[in-house]
Structure 1
Amino acid sequence: AYAMVGMGAVLAASVRAPLTAILLLFEMTRDYHIALPVMAAVGLSIWLTEQLHPPAIYPSARRRQEPKGLTVQEVMVPPSLLLQQDTPLREALERLLQQKCHSALVVDGQERLRGILTLEDLERALAHREAGELAELTVEQVSQAPVLTTFPDEAVAVAAEPMYEYCV
């Protein structure tokens, strides 16, 4: 019984799935007497795991892992695809598929950022519009705007703050 309880605690801590560990152990043993010790051991193991190794999905954990002193310019990657805001939707879809991109930056005539177009935006437009309407739509009408922006000389930690707030 002690070995089974320990096995459940190790499983819960390593996979971070306490309920799965408890149910799996109960299904294996079919013993009601082991349920409370398993729950206590699993609860303790999950608590210890969270204290020693917090998951990276929480903003506080992400902030600790950011490299200090890096600027946006040092980590930024040039955009792979730029689309003019008056580009027809059909042409935009063809270019996204041709270049195997998931998204593209939407710019105006002076190449100022006006939005972001993703494949999900195109799917949403296809789902909610008639075929005749799609031929008349432009990238500007379907893209997501406004977008979060930053400057090349800004610190990565400072630039990431609005993104954490937007995503969480």
Structure 2
Amino acid sequence: MSRQLQFYLTKETHLMNRNISVSDTSVPDNPALGTPDSFLNATGPVRFNMTNDYMFRAVLQTNNRVLRGLVCSLLRLSEEELISAEITNPILLGDSLDDKEFRLDIYVLLNNHTILNLEMQVLDRADWPDRSLLYLCRSFDQLEHGQKYREVRPVIHISFLDYTLFKD
């Protein structure tokens, strides 16, 4: 039996009483969780899995200690080596997820130098290697007019996949 890491989100605290589309929150069909419609009337803790894009983003964006711990673990850094970890594309938690411009991948600036792109992908759409490479390449597009190419910051792209990418 696999263990899933569960976090609890207090709807009133994190959604700030704003309108949010629950159709895109990836709440699994689970009688214990209720239906997406029951979420609108929920009070208190609402259970989400960390593979939920929005929850993944909310936890890392609101708790720098968790972000730093994840980065240190993934990159095998000591806490002392990671001077700063700052999300450079924060979202306003509670806004609608229906916006086509809404991006849930997380850009983190490490020690004011290295760019880290974190991406959560649950569905296997058979195009992940190409999409992942595209995301990595876009991260290198960071120079302003007149800057030297040697000023391009290093980029690391890490994908969390909830499926097996390479089967045997």
The question of a shared fold, defined as TM-score above 0.5 by the shorter chain, is answered with no
Higher helix proportion (structure 1 or 2): 1
Higher strand proportion (structure 1 or 2): 2
TM-score (norm 1): 0.22
